[in-house]
Structures are given as structure tokens and as C-alpha cells.
Amino acid sequence: RAWFSLGVYFSLVALVGISLLLLWDSIGALYFRRGSISAWLPNILAPSFSGSIMDTSIIIASTILSIAFHEFGHAIAAASEGVQMEYVAIFMAVLFPGALVALNYDLLENLPLFSMLRIYCAGIWHNVIFCAACVLMALLLPLVLCPLYVSGDGLIVMGVSQSSSLSRSLSVHDVILSVDGLNIRRTDDWMKMLAQGTVEKTSSHEFLGGSQSYGATNSGKGYCVPNSWMDASKNLWQINDKLSCPDELIVFGKFSCNGSAYFPGTDKVSDKKQTEDLYCLIAKDVVKLKKCGNGWRGTEDDDSNCTCLEV
């Protein structure tokens, strides 16, 4: 009974804490962040079907396990209090599975108040313990699966969209070790790289047929491309009055010596003058070339951004 008494105390503390948290968020949404409710409410109500079959299977399996532990807690607590269990029901609520444990209502009503709370709170108490056990198992995975489990040696590519320009360069289970000279070992390194804000995304419906191009417009990061590559490349293919690169090529902008870069804009032009400094190149070959510019690591204070060197 001491085990289930802990569940009662935890449930009461959690009830007070969650109530205060919801009250604080409601006050903040109404008085301090006006209009925020209308911003996030449609996102909550809007259905999302972007999950894969594997994600759906994991959600269903975790739901079944959570329900099983929840009802098991009620049943064990009732048995410890001498309350008879009449039956167990399993049902489906739309697409989600559910279950319940039916207890003898007369015996339950004759119990002391704290004994009733032990039974009522046993379900959520067992869910919390189950959740804590899952977190502990996840933290111990590197130790349990060693040496098969490797961490801190890069990020594994879990999936690449077919519409992505990286689909021909990256494959599932590839390991990302560095990006633009920044070593990527953990998720924190990846988030730090994204937070630097050195890469600006620009859209060009006129030049790229609605696709997106990426360029380090303010970072001073460039590559030393041989003139033979630039001469051999087809600047931009013109198809139906629109300019675009073939599927296996990526558009690159030519840097001038002052560190500025030229990328396709969204304004319509009548000639090809604006595309003179744009080239269709193979990205995985370009990134292997020598680097230039003062935006790379170790060259922030170097003014000779036209010098090709390895950094």
C-alpha cells in the first residue's frame, strides 16, 4: 500500500502543478500575448497525416503499452484493497485502442477516502513509472548496445526527400561529419550551425522554375572553381522562357573580389545579362575544391578573400 500511497501524493502534486501551469499560460495568452490563441489554435485543430507507417505503428504500440500499464495499476491497487474486479473491457475509440477495468462499485464506495484515492491514482502513477523506465532505458542504450551503438561521431541521415537537391548526393544512413568546416558530432552542433544564420535561402520562380537556391550571401564563403568548369558548364537552361539547371546540377553564383555574391532574383528580366554570373555545377564536386573568402573558420580576420587556400 505504501507504493500506491506514493502515487496519491504524486498525483496531487502533479494536479496542482499542471493547474497552475495552465492558468499561467491562459493569463499570458489573454493579457500579455494578445492574438496568440488565434495563431496556435488552427495548428492544433488542423489534421496532420504526414506520419509514416512506421511512425503510426510506434504510436499505436506505445498507446497499447501505456493503456495496459494504466489499467494494470488500477487492478493491482484494487486487489490490494480487497475490491473485486468484475471484468476487463477492450475497445477502439475511432482509430485509438482503449481498455478499462470494471470494479465492484459497492465495495469501492465503502472504502475510506484515501483507499479510494490509491485505486484512482494508481493508473497515472504506473504511467509515470513506465515513462521514467523508458527514459532510463534510452539513456542507457549507448552502454547496453556497446560497441554496436556509436554516439558522438556524426549525425546519421534518416531520410532524404526525393524533391531535395541533396537526394543525389546524400543517402539514408550516411554520416554527416562537418558542414562548411564546422565539425558536426552531436545534435547540438547541428543546431548551432543552423543558428549561425550564415546561409540565406532565396526563391526564384523566374530562373529556377519555383525551386529554391541556397547561397552564403553574407558569410564570404566560396569555392575556387576552375575556369574550365565554368566554361564547360551551361549557365542556365532555357525551357519555355524559364531558366533552370538539370536535375543533377545545382545553380552557383560567382563571387567578386569584394566578397559580394550574385544570386537569381525574383524580378523578371528580358535578357540573360542577369544570369551571366550563374553556373550549373555538380555540388558534390564543388565542395571538394579549395575554399576562398573570409567566412570560413580561421579566416574571419583575413582580408585576402580572393586567395584560394585550404581552411
Q: If you count them, how many residues does the chain have?
A: 311
Residue that the C-alpha cell 572553381 belongs to: 225
**Phi, psi of 176, rounded to the nearest 5 degrees:** -90, 120
**Residue 251: Cβ-neighbour burial (10 angstroms; 0-12, 13-18, 19+):** buried
Joined grid coordinates for residue 46:
488542423
What's the farthest any 2 CA atoms get from each other in the chain? 91
Contacts of 259 (CB under 8 A, 6+ apart): 220, 293, 294, 305
Rounded distance between C-alpha atoms, residue 100 and residue 93, angstroms: 12
- The one-letter code for the residue type at 266 is T
Instruction: Supply angle C-alpha 277, 283, 284, rounded to 5.
Output: 155
Residue that the C-alpha cell 497515472 belongs to: 124
Rounded distance between C-alpha atoms, residue 12 and residue 184, angstroms: 44
Of the listed 71, 81, 200, 206, which one is catalytic?
A: 71
Rounded distance between C-alpha atoms, residue 140 and residue 129, angstroms: 16
CB 246 within 8 A of CB 208: no
Q: Give the torsion through C-alpha atoms of 215, 220, 226, 230, to 10 deg.
A: 40
Residue 71 annotated in active site = yes
* DSSP class per residue in 122-180: HHHHHHHHHHHHHHHHHHHHHHHSTTT---SS-EE-----TTSTTTTT--TT-EE-EET
CB 216 within 8 A of CB 260: no
Question: Which active-site residues does the annotation give?
Answer: 71
